[in-house]
Amino acid sequence: MTFEELLSSNKGRIIRLCRIYAYSREDQEDLFQEIAYQIWRSMENFRAEAKMETFLYRIALNTSLLYKSKQKKKPPSADLDKVSEPKFEIGIEEKIDKDGRLSWLYHAIKDLKPIEQTLILLYLEEMSYEEISEITGLKVNHVGVKLNRIKKKLSNKVRK
């Protein structure tokens, strides 16, 4: 699989990660570019010990977490309420989010701890507990326990 094919087939997944780990649209675009660069740089290191998508997701998550930790050290560059729409293509689920539930979910996920964000994003990508375990390094049972706690946190937010 070429770099372009890999990036194209996983573009939506990467954009969703960018929405969680970067706040402004400009930062999301920057993060997307950084993830793409890191994937391109790492492709020659892929040893086929895991699925290519798992390898890609691990790179994307590590890049996102590093980006987020660097951003915490910098003061915000823009008023987050006045940020424009992204220049990169958004997914169909965002185009049909007329009642704001998807937007609410993204905001709720941003309030979680970084490991919780990672776990719920992988879960929402319909990855199995085994795949999530492989990407995060957590034991499969621990993934299940943590996901149940995260779901409770999000459910409690809905009730407020």
The reply to whether 114 falls in a domain is yes
For 140, the domain range is 91-160
Whether residue 116 sits in one domain with residue 68: no
Whether residue 7 sits in one domain with residue 73: yes
Whether residue 100 sits in one domain with residue 39: no
pLDDT in single tens digits along all 160 residues of the chain: 788 888 888 888 898 889 888 878 898 999 999 999 999 998 888 877 777 788 888 899 889 988 888 876 665 554 444 444 444 554 544 554 555 677 788 888 888 888 899 899 889 888 899 999 988 889 999 999 999 999 999 888 877 6
Q: How many CB atoms lie within 10 A of CB 153?
A: 15
- At what angle are helices 11-21 and 25-42 packed, to 10 degrees? 130
The reply to whether 86 falls in a domain is no
Task: Quote the pLDDT of residue 85.
Answer: 43
Measured CA to CA, the distance from residue 113 to residue 150 in angstroms comes to 10
Q: pTM (2 decimals)?
A: 0.67
Task: Quote the pLDDT of residue 149.
Answer: 95
Whether residue 98 sits in one domain with residue 77: no
The reply to whether 100 falls in a domain is yes
CATH number at residue 39: 1.10.1740.10
Burial 83-102 (b: 16+ CB within 10 A, else e): eeebeeeeeeebeebeeeeb
Whether residue 98 sits in one domain with residue 119: yes
Query: How many domains, the chain?
Result: 2
